[in-house]
Amino acid sequence: MKRFLWKKTTTFLFILIGGTLPLIYYTQFVGVSSEFDRNKFTRFFSPSFYKDDFRQYIYRTDRKIDRRAFETYSFSVEISNQIGAYRLISDTRDPKCRDIDYVLKPRRTVSVIITFYNEARSALLRTIVTVLKRTPLEYLEEIILVDDCSYDASDGEDLKFLPYVKLIRNQRREGLIRSRNKGAETAYGTYLLFLDSHCEVNEGWLEPLLDRALKHPTIAVSPVIDSIDPDTLKYKASYPFLKGGFDWNLRFKWIPISFEERKVRQEDILSFTAPAFSAGTFMISRKWFFQLGGFDSSLEIWGGESLEMSIKHWLCGGQIEVVPCSRIGHVFRKSYPYSFPDGVYFTYLRNSKRIAESWFDEYKHFFYSMKPAARDISVEPNDKVNILKKDLQCRPFSWYLATVFSELKLPNEDHIAFGQVKCGTKCLGFGVKDQTVKLQDCSFEDNSQWFLHSTTGKLSTNTGACLNLNGNQVILEYCKDSKNQMWIRRGGKLVHEATGLCLDNTLLDAIVGTECRPGAPSQLFSFSVELQKL
Ligand code: UDP
Ligand code: MN
């Protein structure tokens, strides 16, 4: 019996010690999983790191690029090198943020994803070091560097000595959009946090982001992006109440929250919703990111990715919040230091067209009227988007405009109606070659099936031509200040002001002007978007 008890006690002690030792080890070096990582840590926190290691890393010379020239990076690399791996920056948060004790449960981890292409070594290093020094490590899963085939592979290779850092290198340049997707595919964290390679995260940056993200599974959160001056590298606080948005050119822009919105806000430190985030600095759940299919991988090099992800995210069930207590500095450059194989303008235009075609429904033509050159660019049909729209039951773009982005007005708002014009089950359109206006099978892909009716009475196509009557033949001509181009809506009919004739589908698909007849279904036309009461 005694022996039995002794055996039981030793087993118990054995389990106790065996169980607690790893626990002690784990809590001592939270997240630091191996001896190898521990060595990396010791080295990272030792003073020699700041004296020697980083200098060796930063001051590497290169035959292919001038590592000291401003133009190589579009910011002052000399000042960046002098600053080195780390510096103190002003804590730009509202002082009230410092007193918040965030309860971040259940504990979740974040994978930081940094893509870079020929980045100044000091800037890249500082981005990583600020993350390591200003992030509670229990929330950090890893820092994934995606080297988008920079000239010098050692830019990334030489950083593998840093703890938490993992490196992926593209065999050819993919552009930042596919690179971010690649980083996301290898990530393990609950959340993905994307960063540019010339950022400095500020004090307490992660906790407020996590706090908001933990409350909604489909939220994307954005910090306030402070500015680091490209000439002086000075760190400057940004106005914290800016939302991401865009215009009909599909150019990203910052818009201040409205006066009314500020008035009803109880506290300046509360987060607020925004139509878009800047895709260079935002956090999203990994699961939700992949449910959305990641970034559209057909977008090339740079441009449009912020809008693509933001719009998709809102329409398919997400929401975007700006969190004023989280601050990240970013070097806002005035020009691109890198090349665009197809030219910057064409790349931006093609990417934008892809977004407008995928998500804008009949509103895409406002983009085309701002950027007519986009009409001639061919982009592949986005089959994935149609599947996504069905699977996630994404809302129409009109919902986004009405609910999320009321600041985006229709360009010169003298519109009565626009979109497809239906007569029965068919749609008004015109042959590209013969320019004959007729009825066609309805198709969103057919750009000739979009018309705009303005308050001046003009009925115009997406190519900027106006409808007129010649006798009773419908013709397309240059829009001009002429009474002959005026059409009036009357009880569902389109009446030609000058002749009093009604647009009519007389035979098969033909469209002509005929005497108006009360209740004639062949004279009834409806627009897909009505902006005024008939
Ligand atoms: N980048 C990349 N591949 C490219 C172009 C850019 O990986 O082909 C990286 C770049 O190094 C930076 C990020 O993508 O870390 C965003 O680019 P950039 O800073 O030029 O964009 P901006 O901040 O001007 O929108
Ligand atoms: Mn940037």
Q: Do the domain assignments include residue 32?
A: no
Q: Are residues 428 and 479 in the same domain?
A: yes
Can you tell me which atom of ligand 1 is nearest the CA of 331?
23
Name the closest ligand to CA 244.
1
Residue 280 CA to ligand 2 centre (angstroms): 7
Can you tell me which atom of ligand 1 is nearest the CA of 301?
8
Q: Quick check: pTM over 0.75? A: yes
The residue among 121, 165, 170 whose CA lies nearest residue 148 is 170
Residue 47 three-state SS: helix
The residue among 390, 304, 305 whose CA lies nearest residue 348 is 304
Nearest C-alpha to atom 10 of ligand 1 is from which residue?
116
Q: Are residues 235 and 354 in the same domain?
A: no
Residue 151 CA to ligand 1 centre (angstroms): 15
Could you tell me which residues come within 8 angstroms of residue 51 by beta carbon, excluding any fewer than 6 positions away?
Answer: none
Residue 122 three-state SS: helix
The residue among 158, 162, 220, 166 whose CA lies nearest residue 194 is 220
Provide the β-strand partners of residue 283. Answer: 193, 221
Q: Do the domain assignments include residue 516?
A: yes
Tokens standing for residue 389 = 């729209």
Residue 358 three-state SS: helix
Residue 234 CA to ligand 2 centre (angstroms): 16
Residue 490 CA to ligand 1 centre (angstroms): 53
Could you tell me which residues come within 8 angstroms of residue 15 by beta carbon, excluding any fewer than 6 positions away?
Answer: none
Distance CA(224)–CA(238), nearest Å, equals 7
Q: Of 305, 331, 357, which closes a domain?
A: 331
CATH number at residue 394: 1.10.8.460
Can you tell me which atom of ligand 1 is nearest the CA of 175?
8
Tens of pLDDT, residue by residue, the chain (534 residues): 444 444 555 544 444 444 444 433 333 334 445 566 777 778 777 777 766 778 889 998 887 889 999 999 999 999 999 999 999 999 999 999 999 999 999 999 999 999 999 999 999 999 999 999 999 999 999 999 999 999 999 999 999 889 999 999 999 999 999 999 999 999 999 999 999 999 999 999 999 999 999 999 999 999 999 999 999 999 999 999 999 999 999 999 999 888 788 888 888 999 999 999 998 899 999 999 999 999 999 999 999 999 999 999 999 999 999 999 999 999 999 999 999 999 999 999 999 999 999 999 999 999 998 898 998 999 988 899 999 999 999 999 999 999 999 999 888 778 899 999 999 999 999 987 888 999 999 988 788 999 999 999 999 998 889 999 999 999 999 999 888 999 999 989 999 999 999 999 999 999 999 999 998 999 999 999 988 765
Amino acid at 429: G
For ligand 1, mutation pick of 75, 77, 117 (most atoms within 8 Å of CB): 117
Distance CA(245)–CA(307), nearest Å, equals 8
Can you tell me which atom of ligand 1 is nearest the CA of 174?
8
Q: Are residues 301 and 359 in the same domain?
A: no
Can you tell me which atom of ligand 1 is nearest the CA of 278?
25
Distance CA(422)–CA(402), nearest Å, equals 23
Number of compact structural domains in the chain? 3
Ligand 1: residues with CB < 6 A are 115-117, 119, 148, 173, 175-176, 179, 196-197, 280, 301-302, 333, 336, 338
Q: Do the domain assignments include residue 10?
A: no
Distance CA(275)–CA(296), nearest Å, equals 18
pLDDT (0 to 100) of residue 62: 80
Could you tell me which residues come within 8 angstroms of residue 20 by beta carbon, excluding any fewer than 6 positions away?
Answer: none
Residue 406 CA to ligand 2 centre (angstroms): 28
Q: Are residues 174 and 206 in the same domain?
A: yes
Distance CA(389)–CA(317), nearest Å, equals 11
Nearest C-alpha to atom 6 of ligand 1 is from which residue?
176
The residue among 85, 164, 163 whose CA lies nearest residue 129 is 85
Q: Are residues 396 and 507 in the same domain?
A: no
Give the environment of ion ligand 2: residues with CB less than 5 A. Answer: 196
Q: Are residues 161 and 249 in the same domain?
A: yes
CATH number at residue 463: 2.80.10.50
Nearest C-alpha to atom 17 of ligand 1 is from which residue?
196
Name the closest ligand to CA 302.
1
| Burial class for 52, CB neighbours closer than 10 Å (0-12, 13-18, 19+) | exposed
Q: How many CB atoms lie within 10 A of CB 153?
A: 12
Pairing of strands 319-331, 493-496: unpaired
The string of DSSP codes covering 434-492 is T--EEEE---TT-GGG-EEEETT-BEEETTSEEEEEETTEEEEEE--S-GGGBEEEETT
Could you tell me which residues come within 8 angstroms of residue 504 by beta carbon, excluding any fewer than 6 positions away?
Answer: 511, 512, 513, 514, 520, 522, 523
Distance CA(524)–CA(508), nearest Å, equals 15
Distance CA(410)–CA(414), nearest Å, equals 9
Nearest C-alpha to atom 11 of ligand 1 is from which residue?
116
Q: Are residues 113 and 175 in the same domain?
A: yes
Nearest C-alpha to atom 2 of ligand 1 is from which residue?
176
Asked if residue 126 lies in contact with residue 85, where contact means CB atoms within 8 angstroms, the answer is yes
Residue 249 CA to ligand 1 centre (angstroms): 21
Q: Are residues 79 and 139 in the same domain?
A: yes
Q: Are residues 77 and 173 in the same domain?
A: yes
Q: Of 282, 300, 331, which closes a domain?
A: 331
Is the N-terminal amide bond of 521 cis, ω within 30° of 0?
no
Residue 117 CA to ligand 2 centre (angstroms): 11
CATH number at residue 197: 3.90.550.10
For ligand 1, mutation pick of 65, 114, 115 (most atoms within 8 Å of CB): 115
Residue 210 CA to ligand 2 centre (angstroms): 23
Q: Of 331, 355, 387, which closes a domain?
A: 331
Q: Do the domain assignments include residue 311?
A: yes
Q: What is the dihedral of CA 106, 287, 187, 174, to 10 degrees?
A: -150
Q: Are residues 115 and 240 in the same domain?
A: yes
Positive or negative: CA dihedral 399, 403, 407, 410:
positive
Q: What burial letters (b/e) apply to 508-530, b meaning 16+ CB within 10 Å?
A: eeebbbeebeeeeebbbbebbee
Positive or negative: CA dihedral 342, 346, 349, 354:
negative
Q: Are residues 274 and 352 in the same domain?
A: no
Residue 332 CA to ligand 2 centre (angstroms): 6
Q: Do the domain assignments include residue 457?
A: yes
Asked if residue 323 lies in contact with residue 271, where contact means CB atoms within 8 angstroms, the answer is yes
Q: Do the domain assignments include residue 485?
A: yes
For ligand 1, mutation pick of 65, 167, 198, 302 (most atoms within 8 Å of CB): 302
Residue 330 CA to ligand 2 centre (angstroms): 7
Distance CA(175)–CA(205), nearest Å, equals 27
Nearest C-alpha to atom 9 of ligand 1 is from which residue?
116
Residue 301 CA to ligand 1 centre (angstroms): 8
Q: Are residues 163 and 215 in the same domain?
A: yes
Q: Do the domain assignments include residue 324?
A: yes
Nearest C-alpha to atom 25 of ligand 1 is from which residue?
280
Residue 293 CA to ligand 1 centre (angstroms): 21
Amino acid at 181: N
Q: Do the domain assignments include residue 2?
A: no
Structural domain boundaries enclosing 359: 344-404
For ligand 1, mutation pick of 195, 196, 335 (most atoms within 8 Å of CB): 196
Pairing of strands 165-169, 140-147: parallel
